[in-house]
């Protein structure tokens, strides 16, 4: 998977190429301090090491997004999902007060700082990705002239995959695409994230010091009219080491209708998707999961290569 230095003068072209061919890349020299990533990992470790009764006090309620629980999408798969998660949407304070009645403030400060810095990085990445498609700040009416997106939506997902006695019979996180515009993933120094590369198979994403993984999500897939396909990915578990990851999902304001960008449509390039908001798309995904993109497709195109996204077998890995 491409590793892109944010300070590389060719970053725009490199990002464009990575988006087209992999749907993902790693970024280094991104400006997020290592100390902040370490602190975020510490908060995540503290959270998941709490007694289960304590964690359940901050359980995600059935119709809510934030809180402690299993990943919803796991219910679409038959394998045992060897993981637990905690989703943050907006301020973590209410849930963190339930988890750590005495010292929730320090954990809130870490997560708030992490979200602030991630939002800035996500915005920069988004403009590079759009720039590589020939889309400028003036083209996007939900951004201000400086490229700032006042009401951008985001959520963070902390994941914990304990060491697993029988890794072949389990999966950490089932195969999925993210519904966001883009997702920035921090992984601790244990491998486990895999991406599906067309005509190659599953590729394990190496852990590189200071590296953050960037995934193309479904909303950028739609906006780019399929030129930048959202990447199928999953997390596998291992026998000896616990793994932690934190994913930051970034997208446009919830009320914005995302549709294939007019500049990318023309003779021979019909618009492939109908306009949709992130919230509506999440609703479709909650019911139909990996079929969501094809359900909002308006023009049928023959599949290039058939990949069974619901095949959660472990034995197709390519290093
Ligand atoms: C903004 C979001 C993306 C997400 C759904 C959510 O509301 C918060 C959790 C996210 C997550 C994390 C694990 C994989 C995933 C598919 C899931 O089930 O919950 C993603 C969702 C998504 O990208 O659609
Ligand atoms: O654990 C990982 O590396 C992947 C996490 C992920 O894909 C997600 O939270 O959406
Ligand atoms: Fe993901």
Q: Measure the CA–CA gap between 108 and 111, rounded to whole angstroms.
A: 5
C-alpha 216 to ligand 3 mean position (Å): 10
Q: Give buried/exposed letters for 26-53 (b at 16+ CB in 10 A, else e).
A: bbeebebeeebbebbbebbeebbeeeee
* Residues in a beta bridge with 195: 203, 233
- How many CA atoms, within 13 angstroms, populate the side-chain half-sphere of residue 113? 16
| Dist. CA 107–CA 42, nearest whole Å | 9
Rounded average pLDDT over 143-163: 94
Question: What's the gap in Å between 178 CA and the centre of ligand 3?
Answer: 5
pLDDT at position 62: 86
The DSSP 8-state label assigned to residue 286 in this structure reads: H
**Does residue 311 form part of some domain?**
no
CA distance 140 to 260: 12
Average pLDDT across the chain, whole number? 91
Q: What is the per-residue DSSP string for 134-157?
A: T--GGG-TTS-TTS--TT-EEEEE
Which of the residue ranges 76-80, 85-89, 304-308 has the most confident prediction, judged by mean pLDDT? 85-89
pLDDT confidence band for 300 (50 / 70 / 90):
low
Residue nearest to atom 12 of ligand 1 (CA): 157
Q: Provide the pLDDT for residue 63.
A: 84
Residue 249 in contact with ligand 1 by CB distance below 6 A = yes
User: Is the shortest distance between the CB of 218 and ligand 1 below 6 Å?
Assistant: no
CATH of the domain at 198: 2.60.120.330
Nearest-CA neighbor of 67 among 42, 44, 46, 94? 94
Average pLDDT over residues 277-283: 95
Mean pLDDT of 120-138: 96
Please identify every residue whose CB atom is under 5 Å from ligand 3, which is an ion: 178
How many Cβ atoms from other residues are within 10 Å of residue 265's Cβ?
A: 14
- Could you give the C-alpha distances from 102 to 61, 109, 131, 136, in angstroms and in order? 23, 14, 46, 47
Q: What pLDDT score was predicted for residue 77?
A: 72
Contact 161, 237 (CB under 8 A): yes
Q: Quickly state the pLDDT bin for 299 (edges 50, 70, 90).
A: low
User: Distance between CA 136 and CA 180 in Å, rounded?
Assistant: 20
What 60-63 contacts at long range (C-beta under 8 Å, 24+ apart), as own/partner pairs, is 60/87
Tell me whether residue 144 is in a domain. Answer: yes
Q: Tell which one of 23, 88, 159, 244 to mutate to probe ligand 2, the residue whose CB is within 8 A of the most ligand atoms.
A: 159
Total domains in the fold of the chain: 1
Please indicate, yes or no, if residue 268 is contained in any of the structural domains: no
Does residue 222 fall inside a structural domain? Answer: yes
pLDDT at position 317: 41
The predicted model gives 177-200 an average pLDDT of: 96
Asked if residue 187 has its Cβ within 6 Å of ligand 2, the reply is yes
Q: Is the pLDDT of residue 49 over 90?
A: yes
**Cβ(177) to ligand 1 under 6 A?**
no
Of all protein residues, the one whose alpha carbon is nearest to atom 10 of ligand 1 is: 157
What is the three-state SS of 250-265?
EECCCCCCECCCHHHC
Of residues 309 and 94, the one with the higher pLDDT is 94
Q: What's the pLDDT score for residue 80? A: 84
Range of the domain at 17: 3-253
Probe target for ligand 1 pocket from 160, 172, 249, 250, with the most ligand atoms within 8 Å of CB: 249
Indicate if the pLDDT at residue 100 is higher than 90: yes
Higher per-residue confidence, 250 vs 72? 250
**Two tokens, residue 311:** 């095949």
What pLDDT score does 71 carry?
Answer: 79
Q: Which of 106, 124, 110, 221 is nearest to 158 (CA)?
A: 110
Q: Is residue 210 part of a domain?
A: yes
For the chain, what is the total number of helices (H) and then of strands (E)?
A: 8, 15
State the pLDDT at residue 75: 66
Catalytically annotated residue among 60, 234, 243, 274:
243
Q: Is residue 203 part of a domain?
A: yes
The pLDDT of residue 215: 98
Report yes or no on 282 lying in a domain.
no
What are the E-state strand segments in the chain? Answer: 3-5, 24-28, 67-69, 80-81, 84-88, 153-161, 170-171, 173-176, 182-187, 193-197, 201-204, 212-216, 233-235, 243-251, 317-318
Instruction: Please indicate whether residue 243 is annotated as part of the active site.
Output: yes
What pLDDT score does 314 carry?
44
Structure-model confidence comparison of residues 216 and 307, the more confident one = 216
pLDDT of residue 318: 35
Q: What residue owns the CA closest to ligand 1's atom 18?
A: 73
Q: What is the ipTM of this complex?
A: 0.98
How far, in Å, is the centroid of ligand 3 from the Cα of 183?
Answer: 7
| Structural domain contains residue 259 | no
CA distance 204 to 184: 17
Please indicate whether residue 155, judged by its CB atom, sits closer than 6 Å to ligand 1: yes
Pocket test for ligand 2, best of 193, 215, 236, 249 (most atoms within 8 A of CB): 193
Poorest-pLDDT segment among 24-28, 64-68, 284-288: 284-288
Which pLDDT does position 211 carry in this prediction?
A: 97
Segment 192-205, tens digit of pLDDT = 999 999 989 999 99
Q: 21 — phi, psi (to 5°)?
A: -95, -30
User: At residue 108, does pLDDT exceed 60?
Assistant: yes
How far apart are alpha carbons 275 and 223 in whole angstroms? 9
User: Which ligand has its closest atom nearest to the C-alpha of 187?
Assistant: 2
Q: Tens digits of per-residue pLDDT, 69-80?
A: 987 766 667 778
Report the run of H or E that residue 127 belongs to, with start and end. Answer: helix 104-132
Task: Report pLDDT for 301.
Answer: 55
pLDDT per residue as tens digits for the range 214-249:
999 999 999 999 999 999 999 999 999 999 999 999
| pLDDT band at residue 290 under the 50/70/90 scheme | confident
């Amino acid at each position: 998977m491409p590793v892109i230095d944010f300070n590389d003068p060719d970053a725009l072209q490199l990002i464009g190429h990575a988006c087209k061919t992999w749907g993902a890349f790693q970024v280094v020299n991104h400006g997020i301090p290592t100390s902040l990533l370490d602190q975020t990992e510490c908060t995540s470790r503290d959270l998941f090491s709490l007694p289960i009764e304590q964690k359940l006090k901050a359980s995600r309620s059935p119709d809510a997004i934030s809180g402690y629980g299993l990943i919803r999408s796991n219910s679409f798969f038959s394998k045992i999902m060897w993981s637990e998660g905690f989703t943050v949407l907006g301020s973590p304070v209410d849930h963190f007060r339930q988890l750590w009645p005495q010292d929730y403030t320090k954990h809130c400060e870490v997560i708030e700082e992490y979200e602030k810095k991630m939002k800035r990085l996500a915005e920069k990445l988004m403009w590079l990705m759009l720039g590589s498609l020939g889309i400028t700040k003036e083209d996007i009416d939900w951004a201000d002239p400086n490229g700032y997106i006042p009401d951008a939506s985001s959520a963070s997902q902390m994941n914990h995959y304990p060491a697993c006695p029988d890794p072949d019979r389990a999966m950490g996180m089932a195969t999925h695409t993210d519904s966001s515009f883009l997702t920035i993933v921090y992984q601790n120094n244990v491998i486990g994230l895999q991406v599906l590369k067309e005509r190659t198979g599953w590729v394990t994403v190496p852990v590189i010091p200071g590296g953050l993984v960037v995934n193309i999500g479904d909303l950028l897939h739609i906006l780019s009219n399929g030129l930048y396909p959202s990447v199928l990915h999953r997390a596998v578990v291992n026998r000896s080491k616990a793994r932690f990851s934190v994913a930051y999902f970034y997208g446009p304001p919830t009320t914005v209708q995302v549709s294939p960008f007019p500049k990318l449509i023309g003779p021979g390039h019909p618009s492939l998707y109908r306009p949709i908001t992130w919230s509506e798309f999440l609703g479709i995904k909650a019911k139909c999961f990996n079929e969501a993109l094809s359900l909002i497709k308006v023009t049928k195109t023959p599949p290039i290569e058939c990949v069974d996204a619901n095949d959660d077998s472990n034995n197709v890995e390519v290093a």
